[in-house]
Each structure stands twice: as C-alpha cells, then as structure tokens.
Amino acid sequence: QMRTTRKVSVWPVGLVGGRRYERPVVENGKVVGWYTGWRADRPFAIDMAGKQGFAVSLQVILSHPKAVFKRRGSQPGMQESDFLKQITTVEELEPKANNCTKVLVWHTRTEKVNLANEPKYHLDTVSIEV
C-alpha cells in the first residue's frame, strides 16, 4: 500500500509501545487523532521506528529541498513531527490499511512481547485483530 502514496501516508503498527497496536484515528477518510500510548498530543504521533508507520513520496521530498530531519535540536519524540510539519499537514495524510483499521505491519523484536501499556479496558473506537 505504500506504493500508492501520493504525498504522505500512514497506517497502524502492531505490538508496539507496550500495546497491541497504535494507529492514526480516522473519520470520514481523514486522520483526526492518534491512538497511542505516548504523547498523543504530538502534531504527528507517528514514529520512524515503526510505532505508527508512515511513508513519504520521493516527489514530496524533492519538492521541499529545505526540509530536514534533525538528528539534534528536536525535543525527544518530536523528530518526526518536526520533519513532517515542513512537508505536509495532518489533514493531507493518506490513511492506508482500510482507513487505519487493519494491522498489516508489526514492530517485532527477538524478545517476549511487552504489553505493559495496554489499557485494561478497550479504549479504541474500532476493533482490530492483532
């Protein structure tokens, strides 16, 4: 689904952040928030390490030659937001994986899964099988 990205696309990722999944919250085909265990108040609560996946079209990168991904100078956890604010808006994000209701990508490690941050009661508005 990444191949169909026109500008910047997003999707859920399973087994991440001590939860079964994290995802962009989508209403009427638009991202309206974030189902995440850490700092949902970030402008783009997504993570290049796979906590919520995203892809950027090469054409977008080329059309924003001054956009930079700072290794230093961003607050912790804000590198992705600082970068994406330079090239897009939340309203322009393209939700993939059936409007972010299907987990097609997993954040995996060679260790036992840690679900320490999974809410005791299901707090998401959709039911996602992981």
Give the catalytic positions in this structure. Answer: 80
3-state secondary structure of 71: coil
Angular region, 103: left φ>0, alpha ψ -120 to 50, beta rest: beta
Tell me 125's DSSP state: S
DSSP helix/strand/coil, 90: helix
Cross-strand partners of 94: 9
